[in-house]
């Protein structure tokens, strides 16, 4: 095994690359969410796209958990826990509300959740959480 892997540089490089890719992935999810919200009242087939959107958000949550854990190891700082935890819990509650609105066939609530709540939460990840985690790893 190379010294790079042993010393943690590989982990740090992975985290820094993730910081560059996460906003792009969030933009992709936001665009998918806006598109789906705009089609909810016009198509019966919107439900076929809801599952993949929820899968993308779930993958984003898992990816953020991994990146956050690695960032804490790199800088040996857990001060970001509460900020990240709060936004993550809010995102999970939005997913739960989306599922409930879908099961209740409440298209108005579903459209609002996709167009406003999910958009706002994902924007908070981009403007608050990612920059905070970047600062953490820069100071290590």
List, for residues 1-47, the tens digit of each pLDDT value: 344 444 456 577 888 888 889 999 999 999 999 999 988 888 766 77
Domain ranges of the chain: 3-138
Query: Does the domain at residues 3-138 carry the CATH identifier 3.30.720?
Result: no
The confidence band for 76, taking pLDDT boundaries of 50, 70 and 90, is: confident
Beta carbons of 136 and 80 less than 8 angstroms apart: yes
Q: Note the helical H segments in the chain.
A: 3-7, 9-39, 46-75, 81-103, 107-112, 118-124, 130-138
Q: Are 114 and 37 in contact (CB under 8 A)?
A: yes
Render pLDDT for 59-74 as a digit per residue (tens, 0 to 9): 999 998 888 888 887 7
pTM equals: 0.83
What's the CA gap between 93 and 95, in Å, rounded?
5
**What spatial distance separates the first Cα and last Cα of the chain, rounded to whole Å?**
24
């Amino acid at each position: 095994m190379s010294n790079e892997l042993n010393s943690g540089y590989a982990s740090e490089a992975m985290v820094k690359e993730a910081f560059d890719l996460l906003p792009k992935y969030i933009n992709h999810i936001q665009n998918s969410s806006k598109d789906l919200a705009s089609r909810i009242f016009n198509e019966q087939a919107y439900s076929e796209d809801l599952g993949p959107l929820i899968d993308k958000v779930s993958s984003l949550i898992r990816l953020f958990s991994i990146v956050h854990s690695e960032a804490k190891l790199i800088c040996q700082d857990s001060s970001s826990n509460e900020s990240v935890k709060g936004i993550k819990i809010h995102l999970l509650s939005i997913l739960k509300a989306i599922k409930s609105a879908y099961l209740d066939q409440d298209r108005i609530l579903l459209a609002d959740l996709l167009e406003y709540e999910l958009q706002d939460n994902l924007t908070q990840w981009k403007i608050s959480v990612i920059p905070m985690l970047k600062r953490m790893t820069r100071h290590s």
